Amino acid sequence: MSSPTALSPQPAPRSYEVRTFGCQMNVHDSERITGLLEAAGYVPAAGAEPDLVVFNTCAVRENADNKLYGNLGQLVPAKKRNKDLQIAVGGCLAQKDQDTILQKAPWVDVVFGTHNIGSLPTLLERARHNDEAQIEILESLEVFPSTLPTKRDSAYSGWVSISVGCNNTCTFCIVPSLRGKEKDRRPGDVLAEVRALVEQGAVEVTLLGQNVNSYGVEFGDRGAFAKLLRACGGIEGLERVRFTSPHPAAFTDDVIDAMAETPNVMPQLHMPLQSGSDRVLKEMRRSYRSTKFLGILDKVRARIPDAAITTDIIVGFPGETEEDFQATLDVVAASRFASAYTFQYSVRPGTPAGEMADQVPKAVVQERFERLVALQDRIAAEENRAVVGRQVELLVTAEQGRKSGQTHRLSGRARDQRLVHFAVPEGAETPRPGDFVTVTVTGAAAYHLVADPRGPQDYAVRRSRAGDAWDRQEAASCGVPAAPGAAGSRPVDLGMPSLPVR
């Protein structure tokens, strides 16, 4: 009788790490990349040195290329230690620079673009087999990203992409050339994804697109976005609906009506201003003017009095004069934004603005930027102080404030998306991420609110399906099976990407 043949040990699965730079679209793309890798057999590195590092890049933020090449340079020693380590670069900067990445960082194994995320596992395998770098950049969308596997970051909240690309021609923006023309998903596909998220435990979704309120133009229905919001209102178990980002030029009254009349659409609106100067807006090719912008805000507040409105502003666009900048300050003062994302203009190669004369000196831009931030911080603090004494319902998040170790407070988001750090009274139930708490606001700063309950009337917990999903996800991530009979006892992979908490 022959002796039994010894079984060869199975090779350990390859581990990965995804590093994301840029906007919400990039964060959501990284969820797709992660889902693709795990479907292909990769496992998270979980603190150990990974076998694969994927950079999902941005070409819009300042110094995006320097940040990428700095990070790539830091991996050279690891590449020398581990000949099997692979490095992949994708996203907007990869779409823009293509061959330049391998010229500057020849130790990179794979370069892929914004239109072919789904090719990454194949390109990695091909690079290993051929022992040479692989570049694949498509000029049009290969497959709508939402059809790809996805691993969400948390169990209670998730992005749902309704469109990709952009049909606008803003002179400061390179996104249309990198993401392509707008492509809209069919409403049924969007709603099916939302329902799937809710069935697995999510209670909040954020509809995502470069210009969400132009959704439907591709298939001939200019009212499609308002209809989509109303349809989300009919999904049982979906408690919070948000969206980002609309464009003021295409923002119509039917969307305001849908927001006001659909209970689970939250009283929050992100409306990019960019500049308060009509002359600068024209140079930016932003097809609205300050009067129209302020009129939108008036209409929203007339229908939704408690709406918190946020914005984006660029300081120092080419040719911006002190008079132009003062117009921006005037619109900010009139708008009373809850918060603002403020940016100093910097040249983006490949954009019309990058070729304009009259680039504003850096020192002037910095001084104007500081004045704008000071004004907006004062307004935000005043608006937040107006909330002190009110009861607010929070969706508890997994993120914690920078001082949570000292204060022992947890964090949550109010219906209007304000960040609230809250204390749990002694002896009271501690909520899980995904649960809801009702608290009374006791303090305010420019970037957050505080709720330190003084008694039982100031604190209540409502456990939710999302909290249950969080428990299952945590158990699965630790290798512990969900409780017997628990609904959906498979791993749950839903959620909103982590956001910085201030």
- Under a CB-based contact definition with an 8 Å cutoff, are residues 448 and 434 in contact? no
170 labeled binding residue: yes
Beta bridge partners of 312: 341
Examine residue 245 and say whether the peptide bond preceding it is cis (omega within 30 degrees of 0): yes
Instruction: Categorise residue 181: left if φ over 0, alpha if ψ from -120 to 50, beta otherwise.
Output: beta
Q: Rounded distance, CA 294 to CA 333, Å?
A: 11
Instruction: Using alpha carbons, select from 16, 13, 24 the residue that is nearest to residue 120.
Output: 16
User: In the numeric block, which tokens belong to residue 72?
Assistant: 């790539």
Residues in the chain: 502
232 labeled binding residue: no
Instruction: Using alpha carbons, select from 430, 398, 402, 427 the residue that is nearest to residue 411.
Output: 398
Distance of CA 279 to the CA centre of its chain: 31
Phi, psi of 435 (to 5 degrees): -80, 170
Q: Rounded distance, CA 385 to CA 374, Å?
A: 17
- Under a CB-based contact definition with an 8 Å cutoff, are residues 312 and 23 in contact? no
478 labeled binding residue: no
Instruction: Using alpha carbons, select from 31, 40, 32 the residue that is nearest to residue 13.
Output: 40
Torsion of CA 28, 500, 94, 283, to 10 degrees: 100
- Under a CB-based contact definition with an 8 Å cutoff, are residues 316 and 360 in contact? yes
- Under a CB-based contact definition with an 8 Å cutoff, are residues 105 and 72 in contact? yes
Sign (positive/negative) of CA torsion 340, 345, 349, 355? Answer: positive
58 labeled binding residue: yes
- Under a CB-based contact definition with an 8 Å cutoff, are residues 25 and 95 in contact? no
Q: What residue type is assigned to position 194 of the chain?
A: V
Beta bridge partners of 205: 158, 241
Binding-site residues for [4Fe-4S] cluster, in ranges, read 23, 58, 92, 166, 170, 173
Binding-site residues, in ranges, read 23, 58, 92, 166, 170, 173
